[in-house]
Amino acid sequence: MLSQTLLAASRSTRMRGVITGVPLTRRVVDRFVAGDNLDQAGLVISGLVGEGLAVTVDRLGEDTLDAAAAAATRDAYLEMLKRFADLGIAHRTEVSLKLSALGQKLPKDAEKIALENAIAIAEAARDAGTTMTLDMEDHTTVDATLGALRELRGEFPWVGVAIQAALFRTEGDITDLATAGSRVRLVKGAYMEPASVAHQEKHEVDKAYVRAMKTLMRSSAYPMIASHDQRMIDIAHALVAETGREQDSHEFQMLHGIRTTEQHALVAGGDTMRVYVPFGDDWYGYFMRRLAERPANVMFFLNSLVKR
């Protein structure tokens, strides 16, 4: 119930004003968001790479309804990728992007504009010597996102995509995506979806996640296991042993600021561990979804508000 309430709040303009208006909120946000701008984020990212972690970077923002704003997002990613190349960390630092931030929901020529912007970012990623992954948003965007993925992979076969285990359709999508070299980030899902399209109970989502993980691990795809759930990590390791996968044929992913000790433990064990690092001043929706995912995040937030 708490998670559903927080997910609803993530879309609420009124709640956005309430939460962002609390001065101490920013102190909590800093745990999950690596600054408002690229200079601040660059320091965090360089530090993580220096600790042996890989990184994927998200410039926060979504549901763009203005073509100029979508172009500005594209240009910000181009600048970001050039910066990573200049810093010599591009080989360990890819980018994650939401197609809705690139124009997927524009009133006119939405899919064309979003795809053109994504192609420009993919070209910059290739030139920098790295990759990119398409974030998945709510269920209404899945077909459009997978359509864009197919177009992008014609020239950039290394483009990855996030797939949400909570959706009923995911088993079919995972089967289609489980091809040689296909980079697939498997997540549980962080959006409030109706019962007609998604599992509502945690144990059902967990079972769906494991089914999808088995399909990926037993295929020739490149699974990106994005979970903070230790049971899922243990199952992934068991599947690696069962299938005889090499350690460079898959990776684990976690969010910046969550389970950092476990992140370093995975690196120490020889795994590739990639940290999802968001930055930017449009942090509200992302922040609320992080609170919804784990009750411990809510307690951290509340404790920070009372401990001055």
Using only C-alpha atoms, the chain has a radius of gyration, in whole angstroms, of 18
- Which of 22, 47, 17, 53 has its CA nearest to residue 35? 47
Assigned token pair, 60: 């926060």
The single residue of 92, 153, 185, 289 carrying the catalytic annotation is 185
The single residue of 58, 135, 138, 206 carrying the catalytic annotation is 135
- Rounded Cα gap, residues 71 and 16, in angstroms: 25
Residue 180 makes CB contacts below 8 A (sequence gap 6+) with: 220, 221
- Rounded Cα gap, residues 120 and 126, in angstroms: 10
What is the chain's percent helix, strand, coil content, to nearest 5?
55, 15, 30
**Is 185 among the catalytic positions?**
yes
Phi-psi region of 73 (alpha: psi -120 to 50; beta: other; left: phi over 0): alpha
**Is 135 among the catalytic positions?**
yes
| Cβ atoms of 148 and 114 closer than 8 Å | yes
- Which of 70, 61, 45 has its CA nearest to residue 120? 70
- Rounded Cα gap, residues 273 and 188, in angstroms: 18
User: Which residue numbers are catalytic?
Assistant: 135, 185
